[in-house]
Chain A
Amino acid sequence: MKFLPLLWAGLWRKRTRTVFTLLSIVVAFVLFGMLQGVNAVFNNAVNAAAVDRLDVVSRVTFTEPLPYGYLSQIESIPGVAGVAYQSWFGTYYQDPKNFVFSFPLDPERFFPLFPELLLPKDELASLVHTRTGAVIGRDLAKKYGWKVGDRVPLHSVIWTQASNGSSDWQFDIVGIFDGPTNDASSFFFNYSYFDEARAFSKGKVGWYIVKVKNPKEAMQVAAAIDKHFANSPDETKTQTEKEFSQSFIKQQADINFIVTAILGAVFFTLLFLTGNTMMQSVRERVPELAVLKTLGFTDSAVVALVLAEALVLCLIAALIGLGIAALIFPAMKDYIGEAHLPANVLVSGAALAVLLALCTGLPPAWRTARLNIVDALAAR
């Protein structure tokens, strides 16, 4: 601890240089925080997927509907604990920019399969009893200021009503549920209302959700379901929720790859910059370090001093950078649906800072350790 002032003085020996080096590391960590944050949000969504739930979609592609009649057939397959179904409704509220993730479903089948969605019992009951009822996630309710009792019109880009050909659908909000972030913006309503009122594709459902009795048997149950419908006109593809989200994200683009590529470029540049500054700073101080050695500092103490300097610089910069990233991260909520920088990003950021410090500090530290006092004092 008593060497702290010495360390501090060494760091601020050339003020401008230290400030600029610090700032460029800060910038790199802002970028790291943001990009890795986006990446982590996607990965967390995948990891949050339950292991005991399967998604059954059409083999052709997941946008093709499946017959309603599959419900009882899937239920009779051994190992299946419960089956629910949903469809993609594709709606916006007032303006196409206000996209609402809405799904018709059978509430009495759906909610028992999703214990993470917390909907009060009486609100579930009134959803079941209200034909045009709908329950919404807490985030969605906040976004538009909707509350129980409100009558909400949604415009579907896909579904029209048989009665009047209109794409506008009316719903009565009867409940608000809490749940994980990716569900908190959802809008759920009765399948019976949807199927009765829609103009086409009646008697079909978008996909089935199957809960298995034993998560260890998930793969076998999935295979059994697909086998049951093999060679029928509507063959199925059954995947765990996790596999399904993964393949969906992969369709967008390989986000992981892009993030890693950009960060690779940034940190290579940074390594170069900081390493260069550290080398320069040590080079200029060779006589001073020689004086320290003359005073009785051991080789390892001097090495530790140089390394600690790099470590302090990198860690302070990383903390500032990640702090800034955490502050501006909520601004991206509309794009990625997550308001907080995941904590694991902060941890890996700190680890990266240490690694950066070691990479840039070790070569000059090695040089100091091998200093010959006499030569160094003479600045030869």
Chain B
Amino acid sequence: MLRQIGAVTWMNLTGIPQRLGSSSVIIIGIAGVVAVLISVLAMASGFKHTVLGTGRDDRAIVLRGGSDSELASTLSREATLTVMDAPGIRKDAAGKPIASAEAVVIVDLPKKSNDSGANVTIRGVGAEGMMLRPEIHLVAGRMFQRGLRELVVGRGAQGQFKGLDVGSHIALRGSDWTIVGAFESNGDSHESELLADVETVLSAYRRNLYQSVVALLDSTDSFTAFKSALTTNPQLSVDVMREREYYAKQSERMAAVLSFVAYFVGGIMAIGALFGALNTMYSAVSARSLEIATLRAIGFGATAVVLSVLIEALLLACIGAIIGAGLAWVFFNGNVVSTLGSNFTQVVFRLAVSPALMALGIIWACVIGLVGGLFPAIRAARQPIATALRAL
């Protein structure tokens, strides 16, 4: 039995070069599906990875009640001080809470790719802002000095937008700011931002309201105590979230839209590729009807014929999947793009064509190959031997 399958399959496969044109329909069709599916999903997972990676379980973010993002939130100075006094916040060596009252403002900078203006976040951070985020480390220049109009720029923002080299100047509402350093932050969304001293930012934008307070907690468990202390305080109306929860919510919508596009477009393309595969396999089978009938006549079983056709279809599908995944990987893996995030500013992220996505592409391809091969295979096995032989 196995020998029969092996023999017929081998015969089929050696015949592929003669049917190269029609066989490549399967390969190219499936390569297209897999390439589109993987590229768009790589975008979704890259965005999610960047935004989600910004949050830590032992950090909490406090916004004004009812605000959905930092940009929409406002907190008065008194409110931020009350928040930073709450129990559960880790203290530094001097006994000060490791928390930062922050302001998020926006500056319009030209994109390197198309010169069109895009919103970039400037985050004003408090004195403890860096101790709060040990993942931020400088890769060029130095840290900004408090009270001075100085900025440090994230590597992501530096790559996407013009005029952010260390040493260059940008104008913000009539005041001149110097970029004194560049930082990396494990590829999270802070890398798409510019950081500066919060008081200097507020005075440059003539504001007196902060947007959020970020606090490092004693431990992940002290969140409940921290939250209940703030939400039961009648003087405050705030939303308290674990930082990871907050960023998960921020990435949800965009990731959902991208996944929808990937599965919708990929699904429609898969149906098209399926028809192509059916076409190819039907014509492959009908071109070989005499050959198959002869095999059946000399004692080969129907199962062997069915399996041989299926294996041929699967093999072609897998070649297509590998080409498609390869194309997606070569063209898009590590590609840096940016889109509008929830703060109405650009989030710079990297497309990640992961092995898991490639595996997903190969699974899709196998399903298409399997369905596309099955019906022609059954027809091949069912055709009456005598009729097929007479067709000579």
Residues of A within 8 A of B (CB): 16-17, 20-21, 23-24, 27-28, 30-31, 34-35, 59-64, 90, 96, 155-158, 160, 165, 167, 199-200, 231-235, 237, 246-247, 250-254, 262, 265-266, 268-270, 272-273, 276-277, 279-280, 335
| Stretch from B112-120, B138-146, B307-315, B353-361 contacting the other chain | B112-120
How many angstroms from the CA of A272 to the CA of B280 in the assembled complex? 12
How many angstroms from the CA of A20 to the CA of B278 in the assembled complex? 7
A21: chain B residues within 8 A (beta carbon): 275, 279
How many angstroms from the CA of A269 to the CA of B173 in the assembled complex? 52
Q: Which of B24, B25, B32, B205 has a CB less than 8 Å from the CB of A265?
A: B32
For residue B247, CB closer than 8 A to chain A, the reply is no
A276: chain B residues within 8 A (beta carbon): 21-22, 24-25
For residue B180, CB closer than 8 A to chain A, the reply is no
How many angstroms from the CA of A270 to the CA of B275 in the assembled complex? 11
Q: Lowest 9 CB-CB distances: which A-B pairs, in order?
A: A27-B272, A24-B275, A61-B108, A167-B66, A20-B279, A61-B106, A157-B72, A269-B32, A158-B72
Tell me if A24 and B283 are in contact (CB < 8 A): no
Tell me if A157 and B68 are in contact (CB < 8 A): yes
B173: chain A residues within 8 A (beta carbon): 60, 64, 233-235
How many angstroms from the CA of A226 to the CA of B209 in the assembled complex? 28
Tell me if B272 and A24 are in contact (CB < 8 A): yes
Q: Which residue of B lies closest to A62 (CB)?
A: B108
Given A60-B172, A265-B36, A280-B283, decide whether A252 and B28 contact each other with a Cβ distance below 8 A.
Answer: no
Q: Which of B74, B105, B275 has a CB less than 8 Å from the CB of A23?
A: B275
Tell me if A262 and B36 are in contact (CB < 8 A): yes
For residue B237, CB closer than 8 A to chain A, the reply is yes
Counting chain A CB atoms within 10 Å of each CB, the highest count among B108, B172, B174 belongs to B108
A158: chain B residues within 8 A (beta carbon): 67, 72, 74
Tell me if B66 and A31 are in contact (CB < 8 A): no
Chain B's nearest CB lies how many Å from the CB of A33?
10
Tell me if B106 and A17 are in contact (CB < 8 A): no
Question: For the complex, would chain A's binding face be called helix, strand, loop or mixed by DSSP majority?
Answer: helix
How many angstroms from the CA of A17 to the CA of B24 in the assembled complex? 16
Tell me if B119 and A269 are in contact (CB < 8 A): no
Chain A's nearest CB lies how many Å from the CB of B335?
12
Tell me if A35 and B265 are in contact (CB < 8 A): yes
| Stretch from B83-91, B339-347, B363-371 contacting the other chain | B339-347
Tell me if B279 and A63 are in contact (CB < 8 A): no
Q: How many residues of B contact A (CB 8 A)?
A: 52
30 contacts between A and B (CB under 8 A): A16-B278, A16-B279, A16-B282, A20-B276, A21-B275, A21-B279, A24-B272, A24-B275, A28-B272, A30-B268, A31-B268, A35-B265, A59-B108, A60-B107, A63-B71, A64-B105, A155-B66, A199-B74, A231-B174, A232-B174, A246-B116, A250-B116, A251-B118, A266-B272, A269-B32, A272-B24, A273-B279, A276-B22, A279-B21, A280-B283
How many angstroms from the CA of A231 to the CA of B265 in the assembled complex? 49
A61: chain B residues within 8 A (beta carbon): 106-108, 119
A63: chain B residues within 8 A (beta carbon): 71, 106, 119, 344
Chain A's nearest CB lies how many Å from the CB of B256?
11
Counting chain B CB atoms within 10 Å of each CB, the highest count among A62, A64, A246, A251 belongs to A251
B65: chain A residues within 8 A (beta carbon): 167
Chain B's nearest CB lies how many Å from the CB of A125?
33
Tell me if A90 and B72 are in contact (CB < 8 A): yes
Tell me if A252 and B340 are in contact (CB < 8 A): yes
A233: chain B residues within 8 A (beta carbon): 173-174, 206
Q: Which residue of B lies closest to A264 (CB)?
A: B32
B206: chain A residues within 8 A (beta carbon): 233
Counting chain B CB atoms within 10 Å of each CB, the highest count among A62, A63, A165, A265 belongs to A265
Q: Which of A24, A31, A96, A234 has a CB less than 8 Å from the CB of B265?
A: A31
Chain A's nearest CB lies how many Å from the CB of B235?
10
Tell me if B269 and A31 are in contact (CB < 8 A): yes
Counting chain A CB atoms within 10 Å of each CB, the highest count among B105, B206, B265, B276 belongs to B276
Chain B's nearest CB lies how many Å from the CB of A203?
12
How many angstroms from the CA of A272 to the CA of B30 in the assembled complex? 12
Chain A's nearest CB lies how many Å from the CB of B329?
15
How many angstroms from the CA of A16 to the CA of B265 in the assembled complex? 25
Tell me if A253 and B275 are in contact (CB < 8 A): no
How many angstroms from the CA of A273 to the CA of B66 in the assembled complex? 54
Tell me if A266 and B21 are in contact (CB < 8 A): no
How many angstroms from the CA of A150 to the CA of B254 in the assembled complex? 34
Q: Which residue of B lies closest to A277 (CB)?
A: B279
Q: Which residue of A lies closest to B286 (CB)?
A: A14
Chain A's nearest CB lies how many Å from the CB of B364?
15
B339: chain A residues within 8 A (beta carbon): 251-253
